[in-house]
Amino acid sequence: MNTENSSLEDDRRPSFVVGVGASAGGLEALQDFFGNMPEISGLAYIVIQHLSPDFKSLMDQLLARFTRMEIKLAENGMAVERDTIYLITPKKNMTIAQGCLQLTEQNRGHFLNLPIDIFFKSLAVDAKDRAIAVILSGTGSDGAAGVLEISERGGLVIVQDPATAQFNGMPISAQATNVVNRVLHSKEIPHFIAQYATNPVIPTY
């Protein structure tokens, strides 16, 4: 029985965990990304956004128009499984540990909250060379510190081409770390990830 359960868990375990950071202008890029990602890839996708604390996010409904993958709103302790999209919820920061999502309340004080950095740093520790970080459209620099740690632990870092991003602050900040492996249009990122998943060699320019 234990062997069967272990086999079932292995079947659901993603080959890679893709953290996707997006902020202002990110909806179009996310639709491009998931609209071009195969329904069955063996990967898990965790989307970290800057969400308003005052409004319910409709991202699950919006993305469902572009993909047949299962979409889940993240819950504390939820195991991350392959071919599934997980969305951060308002007022929460999220990390990953031992393949499970952990949610905490955001500090609503005077400190700048950086949910993408928070998640990427935990992903670097948890998934190591099975981590893939993607930075899409957004203002500010959230994600830049996180991609440094993803890279340091052998993960892959991809950034949306700033020229194609509605807001290029986050992509440019990530590029400035000098650890980005590829800069691509949001529509091209899925194909590159799919190729990498079959032959996981960190590319260099």
* Contact criterion met (CB below 8 Å) for 23 and 138: yes
In this prediction, residue 22 carries a pLDDT of 97
pTM given for the model: 0.93
Dihedral angle, C-alpha 3, 132, 75, 83, nearest 10 °? -60
* Contact criterion met (CB below 8 Å) for 49 and 88: yes
Q: Give long-range contacts, CB 8 A cutoff, 24+ apart: 147-152.
A: 147/120, 147/174, 147/177, 147/179, 147/180, 148/177, 148/179, 149/120, 149/121, 149/124, 149/125, 150/19, 150/120, 150/123, 150/124, 150/179, 151/177, 151/179, 151/181, 152/124, 152/179
* Contact criterion met (CB below 8 Å) for 41 and 83: yes
Residues found in the chain:
205
In this prediction, residue 200 carries a pLDDT of 92
> Cβ–Cβ contacts within 10 Å for residue 163, how many?
9
Q: Which amino acid is at 154?
A: G
| pLDDT (tens place) for every residue of the chain, 205 residues total | 344 344 446 679 999 999 999 998 999 999 999 999 999 999 999 999 998 877 778 899 999 999 999 999 999 999 999 999 999 999 999 999 999 999 999 987 667 899 999 999 999 999 999 999 999 999 999 999 999 999 999 999 999 999 999 999 999 999 999 999 999 999 999 999 999 999 998 876 5
* Contact criterion met (CB below 8 Å) for 102 and 88: no
In this prediction, residue 202 carries a pLDDT of 83
In this prediction, residue 99 carries a pLDDT of 97
In this prediction, residue 7 carries a pLDDT of 40
CA 39 to chain centre: 16
In this prediction, residue 57 carries a pLDDT of 84
In this prediction, residue 9 carries a pLDDT of 61
